Amino acid sequence: MVPRFDLSLYLVTDPEMTARRGVVATVAAAVAGGVTIVQLRDKLGSARALAEAGRALLALLRPLGVPLLVNDRLDVAHAIGADGAHVGQDDLPPSEARILLGPQAIVGLSITASHQLGTIDTSVDYVGLGPLFPTGTKADAAPALGETGFAALRRQITLPVVAIGGITVANTPRTLAAGADGVAVISAICAAADPQAAAQALRHAIRTVRR
């Protein structure tokens, strides 16, 4: 059976980092470089602006078979027919996402510490675990887990896990060695001068480890 999604190289968009090039152009280049799944994230944008960006991304990604998830905004994910949503600990619970988006939707949940493991329920398809390394991308990021802390939490999660937080080409092998099924990046691609080349470098690092 073909998996519904591939977490190998997971791109999370950032409105400021993609402002100059545009989010659609950035994602197009990143997918050409090997990104396997995309999360549209804009904590401050209006619902209308997010929906417009989401529809443009769906038009790009659907023919390529790359899923589009919407961060937090279940209303927008539902309205545009996104492939799913990713929710954090302060958002509506994944069970609500499942009810709204349906049984075929991809639902992801962020976990940053051991006391949150109990929030993983049968509605969740994968877990975003981190931050693994220190990161400056998210101002309110939790303390970095480090490789040992990440690996300890990973062993307690039966679902696929994508690591996030401070991930680069250089530390991708260590990330996968700690138990991640994939790497999620923001600045490593969105802030790169050449998003396609940045994605290709990350994809090469992933494939090298998996050989």
Q: What's residue 4's pLDDT?
A: 81
Residue 2 in this model has a pLDDT that exceeds 80: no
| Main-chain phi, psi angles of 156, to 5 degrees | -95, 0
Q: How confident is residue 142, by pLDDT bands cut at 50, 70 and 90? A: confident
> Residue range 115-132: average pLDDT?
97
> What's the mean pLDDT when you consider all of the chain?
95
Q: Is the pLDDT assigned to residue 109 strictly greater than 90?
A: yes
Asked if 110 is an active-site residue, the reply is: yes
Residue from 21, 55, 138, 174 carrying the catalytic annotation = 138
- The per-residue pLDDT for range 19-73, each reduced to its tens digit, is 999 999 999 999 999 999 999 999 999 999 999 999 999 999 999 999 999 999 9
Q: Which among 41, 73, 98, 154 is annotated as catalytic?
A: 41
**Per-residue pLDDT for 138 more than 70?**
no
Task: Flag whether pLDDT at 1 surpasses 80.
Answer: no
Q: Which residues, other chains included, contact 9 with Cβ-Cβ below 8 Å and sequence gap of 6+? A: 34, 35, 36, 37, 182, 183, 185, 199, 202, 203, 206
Residue ranges per domain, the chain?
9-210
Average pLDDT over residues 199-208: 98
Over pLDDT 90: what percentage of the chain?
A: 93
Among 3.90.245.10, 3.40.50.1100, 3.40.50.720, 3.20.20.70, what is the CATH number of 9-210?
3.20.20.70
Per DSSP, 142 falls in state P
Cα 138 from Cα 209, distance rounded (Å): 28
Helix (H, G, I), strand (E, B) or coil at 118: helix
Given the residues 73, 110, 123, 154, select the one marked as catalytic: 110
In this structure, the number of other CB atoms found within 10 A of the CB of residue 146 comes to 14
**How far apart (Å, rounded) are the C-alpha atoms in residues 188 and 168?**
6
pLDDT level of residue 3 (50, 70, 90 thresholds): low
CB 102 within 8 A of CB 136: no
